[in-house]
Amino acid sequence: MDAMKNKFWFIQTYGCQMNESDSERYAGQLEALGYHKTEDMELADVILLNTCCVRETAEGKILGKIGELKHLKERNPALLIAVTGCMAQEWQDRLFDRAPHVDLVIGTHNIHQLITLIEERQKASDHYLAADMDIPAFHDLPAKRFQKFFAWVPIMNGCNKFCTYCIVPYVRGREVSRPVADIVKEIRQIAAEGYKEITLLGQNVNSYGMDLKDGTDFSYLLQAVDAIDGIERVRYMTSHPKDMTFAMIDAIAASKKVVNHMHLPIQCGSDELLKKMNRGYTTDHYLELAAYARKRIPDLVLTTDIIVGFPGETEAMFQDTLHLLKRVQYDMAYTFIYSPRTGTPAAKMPDQIPQEEKSHRLQRLMDVQNVFSLEHNQSMEHQVYDVIVEGPTKNDENNWFGRTTGNKMIIWENDGTAAVGDTVPVAVDKGQTWVLKGHLVH
Please say which residue, 341 or 403, places its beta carbon nearer to ligand SF4. Answer: 341
- Minimal distance in Å, beta carbon 62 to ligand SF4? 19
CA dist., res. 354 & res. 359, Å (int)? 9
Does residue 28 bind ligand SF4 (CB under 6 A)? no
- At closest approach, how far in Å is the CB of 247 from ligand 5AD? 24
Annotated binding site: 16, 52, 86, 159, 163, 166
- Residues with Cβ within 8 Å of 367's Cβ and at least 6 positions away in sequence, in order, are none
Output the smallest distance, CB 203 to ligand 5AD, in A.
9
Contacts of 295 (CB under 8 A, 6+ apart): none
* Of residues 169 and 391, the one with the C-beta less far from ligand SF4: 169
**240 interacts with ligand SF4 by CB under 6 A:** yes
> Which amino acid, residue 15?
G
Closest-approach residue to ligand 5AD (CB)? 305
Angle at 116 between CA 112 and CA 119, to 5 degrees: 145
Using CB under 6 A as the binding rule, whether residue 162 contacts ligand SF4 is answered as yes
Q: Which residues bind ligand 5AD (CB under 6 A)?
A: 54-55, 165-166, 265, 267, 305, 307, 336, 338-339, 341
Closest to 83 in 3D by CA, of 112, 97, 68, 62: 62
Q: Which is nearer to ligand SF4, 166 or 362 (CB)?
A: 166
**Cβ closest to ligand 5AD, residue 54 vs residue 102:** 54
Annotated binding residues for [4Fe-4S] cluster = 16, 52, 86, 159, 163, 166
Which one, 169 or 392, has the nearer CB to ligand 5AD?
169
Among 84, 199, 203, 405, binds ligand SF4 (CB under 6 A): 203
Q: How far is the CB of 73 from ligand SF4 (least distance, A)?
A: 34
> Which of ligand SF4, ligand 5AD, none has residue 162 at its interface (CB below 5 to 8 Å by kind)?
ligand SF4
161 lies in the site for ligand SF4, by CB under 6 A: yes
Does position 246 interact with ligand SF4 (CB under 6 A)? The reply is no
Interface residues with ligand SF4 (CB under 6 A) are 159, 161-163, 166, 168-169, 203-204, 240
